[in-house]
Amino acid sequence: MAILVDANTRLMCQGLTGRAATYHVGRMIAYGTKVVAGVTPGKGGRTHLDVPVFDTVAAARSATGANASMLFVPPENAAKAIIEAIEAEIELIVAVTERVPVIDLVRVRQALKGSKTRLVGPNSQGVLSPGLAQAGVMTTVNAKAGSIGIASRSATLTSEVMAQTTALGLGQSTTVGVGGDPVHGLSLSDCLALFLADPQTKGIVLIGEIGGSEEEEAADFIRSANPSKPIVALVVGRHAPEERRMGHAGAFASGGSGAAVPKIAALEAAGVLIAPNAAKAGTTMAHALAG
Decide if 108 contacts 83 (C-beta within 8 A): yes
Exposure of 256 by Cβ count < 10 A (0-12 exposed, 13-18 middle, 19+ buried)? exposed
The answer to whether residue 184 is catalytic is: no
What is the number of other CB atoms lying within 10 angstroms of the CB of residue 47?
A: 11
Task: Say which of 24, 184, 248, 287 is annotated catalytic.
Answer: 248
Q: Please, which residues have CB within 8 angstroms of residue 214's CB and are 6 or more apart in sequence?
A: 153, 178, 187, 188, 189, 208
Q: Please, which residues have CB within 8 angstroms of residue 193's CB and are 6 or more apart in sequence?
A: 221, 225
Q: Give the integer Cα–Cα distance in Å for 249 and 260.
A: 16
Q: Coil, strand or helix: which one is 230?
A: coil
* Residues assigned a catalytic role: 248
